[in-house]
Structure 1
Amino acid sequence: SVDATVGPLSVEMSPEGPIVTHSATVPDGVTTQALIKGDGVQVHESDRVVAQFTVLGWTDGVVRVSTWETGIPQVINLGTAMRGLQSALVDQKVGSRLAITIPPDLAAGDDTLCIVIDILGTEPNLSGAAQSSSS
């Protein structure tokens, strides 16, 4: 996925969460724009990511889900997340705010999804990979 500050999405933050506008042309494939570059730990593909996020449809602009409405971050298990979201988040760093577009074949439903996400933290997914304890 392309790491760019410019891309199809334009994001303005409001107290209720991100306000997303976009270009007229639907992008091909997953696009990732780094609105804020974090300097925390890197996200791995089996991690559980603690995040604030908003998901809306490209065509209808309807918000599908937003944690900004509740103010309570959610945990995203990358092992079971939409493939497009997984590929966009892997190798990003905690503290980042990303604007992502995901085409329908890598998302859920029949519309391209627009996602604004703040990566707040990660937890190793203990059920997936074998973990060695060093206690």
Structure 2
Amino acid sequence: MTTLPTASGSFGDKPELTFPEGGAPSGLQVQVLSEGNGPVVESGRTIVVNYLGQTWGGHVFDNSYDRGTTIDFPIGVGAVIGGWDKGMVGQNVGSRLLLSIPPEHGYGARGVPQAGIGGGDTLVFVVDVVDVK
């Protein structure tokens, strides 16, 4: 079994990821770092989150913590990468999650070169589920 990265801090804190030896796991991996007790995120709702996104073993390409504001978007309806749609639905508000998203559920073979995401990169996100509307 491939181990997932560990994340520092707790809900609301900007995390730092520490990666294990070896490569990224295959398939979508969702680990609940701390379980919230708020409403369940349902497909078609708008989710409000703080997040940090990093390539596996590489650089942080985006994070909302430094901007000091959450981001919200529809979930479960194809508005975001598949790994978010699949990994976030069914989670509770107030949870901190670690998502390891393989390219087929992320940006695929194209990547996002302007963000420094290569084709075939596995993405790792730490996501704080702040609210659902």
TM-score by length of 1: 0.80
Give 5+ residue unaligned stretches, structure 1.
1-6, 124-135
Indicate the residue corresponding to 1:132 in structure 2.
none
Moved more, 73-82 or 46-55: 73-82
* RMSD of aligned Cα (Å): 1.7
**Residue of structure 2 equivalent to 1:13:** 9
The percentage of counterpart residues that share the same residue type is 28
Cα distance between partner residues in 2 of 1:26 and 1:84: 15
**Aligned mates of 1:99, 1:76 — CA distance in 2:** 18
Question: Which structure's residues are more often strand, by fraction?
Answer: 1
Aligned residues: 116
CA distance in 1: counterparts of 2:55 and 2:92, whole angstroms: 25
| CA apart distance, 1:46 | 1.0
Query: In the TM superposition, what is the alpha-carbon distance from 1:33 to its structure 2 partner?
Result: 0.9
* Gap runs ≥5 in structure 2: 112-118
* Counterpart mapping for 1:55-134 below 5 A: 55-59=53-57, 61-78=58-75, 79=77, 80-108=79-107, 109=111, 110=119, 111-123=121-133
| TM-score, normalised by the number of residues in structure 2 | 0.81
Runs ≥4 residues deviating over 6 A: none
Asked if the contact 1:18–1:54 (Cα under 8 Å) also holds between the matched residues in 2, the reply is yes
Whichever of the two has the greater Rg, that structure is: 1
Work out the CA distance in 1 between the residues paired with 2:13 and 2:129. Answer: 18
Q: Which amino acid aligns with 1:10?
A: T
